[in-house]
Structure 1
Amino acid sequence: MTATPHLDALQRDGFVVVRNLLSPSEISHYHTIATKATTKTRAGSWPHFRTVPKQFPPWPSTPPPASEGGIWGVQHLLHPDMEDRQSFAQCYFSSSILKVVEELVGVQTADSNSEPLVMELFNLLVAPETKDFELRWHRDDIPETATAEEELAQLAAKSPGGCQSHAQYNLALCPDASLIVVPGSHRRARTDTERNAEPYASHLPNQLVVELQPGDAVFYDSNILHRGVYKAKPEGGEETRLTLHGSLGLKAANGAGDDEKKKVRATAVLQHGVGGWVHRDDAAFGIGERPERMRANLVAMGTGEGVGFSLQG
């Protein structure tokens, strides 16, 4: 055992599963409010969502009917207008999650004079309605058109020396086997087999299905080769997928190349529209000073106007 077992696994494999991150009572509580948020969104009472068959932002402003798959995600759980925002914030800023994040990005617990972490995104991934839905194989910040040389250069720039500039995770509230990864692919260019495979290929060599039970989380390098496979929710039945999908960033220093890193991360985060509300007067959480410092770091990123989008489709 080392002092950084989660980081060791992330650097080696590109992902790490943390079991029992939530207690049974927390699972029950977050399951209840996540179900409520999903029900409202399916009914058209929450305007921020991910729609089938669109994979990446921007998403339409009107959800498709259930017969066409409906939604596969609820956006902006920390938005001031989200009914259970305070409870979602308690989860997002919880010490159990922040402790893992700090290990993965290599920082000590913040003090009142400095905050190294940036509040980023907190969304909910849900089962589509009536039909299954799949995401194509991708890396979050590197286009599939990149050459092998471009892939290697961008992977090195985004995680220099294996160090992460952010931590991204899926936290399951129902049994979840939706994320499929190719371990180790975050440190190399795609093989010829991977490059020539169909975008929705059902199997790539060495792929692994990440299986989570309620309360488990997987933290993963966003540029590992991965995709999602989402089974449809039974018509009229209970929600079968409620997975909290979050990310937190590392505030960039002012060294060589940091302007470009800030630009890349700003695009990845602000393309989701969080910059449109995080600065609002009613956006304060009221649960301590640290969340406000992290929110201020996000405000400093900007509104998101003109940053563009990381991927198309």
Structure 2
Amino acid sequence: MSAHPTITSSKSLKQQYDEQGYVIVPGLIPPEQFKALETASERVITRTRTGQWPHRRTVGRQFPPYGDGDPDSWGVQHVMHPDLGEPAFARWYTSDALVGVVQELLGALREDSCLYVVPGSHKTPRTPAQRALSSTLDPPTDPLTMPGAVRVSLRPGETVFYNNNILHCATYDAAAPRITLHACIGEARGGPTRARNILQHGLRWMKEPPFADTLDARGRAMLERIVRLQESVGGEVGYSLVN
């Protein structure tokens, strides 16, 4: 198994990302932001697990609608919502460090080895064996049975950027504490498909003044673009698992 690509090697970040479909950036979260993000995440996790924050991702569903039937959560939604009162997230998601890289993000605040990817699969058709293992929503017994799969292990402060077309999945150990920030950054040129990927999560609150008031100039510019994208498609954008 080859070593994970990082920007410390001789190849550029873009070269590695284009070739492998993902790349790890060490130390992207600066020390002065790390602790604030960690403590904010712990508070948000507690509020979600105790039912004080209803916006969560439930096990067995990659995309909405999630529903409230499953008590097990694998993610917290809308962490920049002003009602949460946690400005650390907006500061990080609109920061120079993060926006400068501009692709899919997983930022680890603790050790995290839940992600599995197939390097290079973002630019090639799935093989018959890969298709057989990725054509349903059933979770794999062992993600490494996927031909070509590798496990991505992150240390605190490391960030992995990956192409959303890469074959990937995740498994979680309920006994292992996990705090990982996950964001999606892309281009408005994707049109309706791009709109659905973002807006299916329900972002009406982002158009209200209290949220814009939490953002700096760059954050407000990013917000304006996502609002224009919403208005450009008109009406309901639907869900990825339905459309």
Residues in 1 aligned to 2:207 and 2:215: alpha-carbon distance in whole angstroms: 17
Matched residue, 2:160: 218
Which digits, 9 at most, give the CA deviation of each residue in 1:80-132, with x for residues without a partner? 21221x1111111111111111xxxxxxxxxxxxxxxxxxxxxxxxxxxxxxx
Contact 1:181 1:209 in 2 (8 A): yes
Q: Closer, same or farther in 2 for the Cα pair 1:216/1:226, shift >3 Å? A: same
Q: What SS does the aligned partner of 2:60 have?
A: coil
* Residue of 20, 25, 28 corresponding to 1:18: 25
Does residue 246 of structure 1 match 2:175?
no
Contact 1:175 1:212 in 2 (8 A): yes
Q: Which moved more, 1:189-198 or 1:262-271?
A: 189-198
Does residue 94 of structure 1 match 2:95?
yes
Provide TM-score, normalisation by structure 2. Answer: 0.86
Residues in 1 aligned to 2:154 and 2:10: alpha-carbon distance in whole angstroms: 24
Q: What SS does the aligned partner of 2:14 have?
A: helix
Residues in 2 aligned to 1:12 and 1:53: alpha-carbon distance in whole angstroms: 30
Which digits, 9 at most, give the CA deviation of each residue in 1:163-219, with x for residues without a partner? xxxx21110011000110000000111001111237525212221111101111100
Residues in 2 aligned to 1:201 and 1:184: alpha-carbon distance in whole angstroms: 23
Contact 2:188 2:229 in 1 (8 A): no
Does residue 190 of structure 1 match 2:126?
yes
Contact 1:278 1:298 in 2 (8 A): no
Q: What SS does the aligned partner of 1:17 have?
A: strand
Percent same amino acid among aligned pairs? 37
Matched residue, 1:291: 219
Residues in 2 aligned to 1:292 and 1:25: alpha-carbon distance in whole angstroms: 23
Q: Closer, same or farther in 2 for the Cα pair 1:98/1:30, shift >3 Å? A: same
Residues in 1 aligned to 2:78 and 2:109: alpha-carbon distance in whole angstroms: 17
Q: Closer, same or farther in 2 for the Cα pair 1:54/1:248, shift >3 Å? A: closer
Aligned residues: 227
Q: Closer, same or farther in 2 for the Cα pair 1:181/1:3, shift >3 Å? A: closer
Matched residue, 2:4: none
Residues in 1 aligned to 2:25 and 2:69: alpha-carbon distance in whole angstroms: 33
Residues in 1 aligned to 2:169 and 2:196: alpha-carbon distance in whole angstroms: 20
Residues in 2 aligned to 1:292 and 1:305: alpha-carbon distance in whole angstroms: 23
Q: Which runs of 5+ in 2 are unaligned?
A: 1-6
Q: Which runs of 5+ in 1 are unaligned?
A: 102-166, 235-239, 253-260
Q: Closer, same or farther in 2 for the Cα pair 1:286/1:55, shift >3 Å? A: closer
CA apart distance, 1:25: 4.2
Matched residue, 1:75: 77
Residues in 1 aligned to 2:51 and 2:107: alpha-carbon distance in whole angstroms: 25
Q: Which moved more, 1:216-225 or 1:279-288?
A: 279-288
After TM superposition, the structure 1 = structure 2 runs for residues 263-274 of structure 1, keeping only pairs within 5 Å, are 263-274=192-203
Which digits, 9 at most, give the CA deviation of each residue in 1:225-263, with x for residues without a partner? 1111111136xxxxx1110001222232xxxxxxxx301
CA apart distance, 1:24: 3.7
Provide TM-score, normalisation by structure 1. Answer: 0.67
Matched residue, 1:141: none
More helix by share: 2
Does residue 37 of structure 1 match 2:18?
no
Which digits, 9 at most, give the CA deviation of each residue in 1:243-289, with x for residues without a partner? 0001222232xxxxxxxx30110011111112x11111212144432
Does residue 262 of structure 1 match 2:194?
no
Q: What SS does the aligned partner of 1:32 have?
A: helix
Residues in 1 aligned to 2:184 and 2:60: alpha-carbon distance in whole angstroms: 23
Q: What SS does the aligned partner of 1:301 have?
A: helix
RMSD between superposed Cα atoms in Å: 2.2
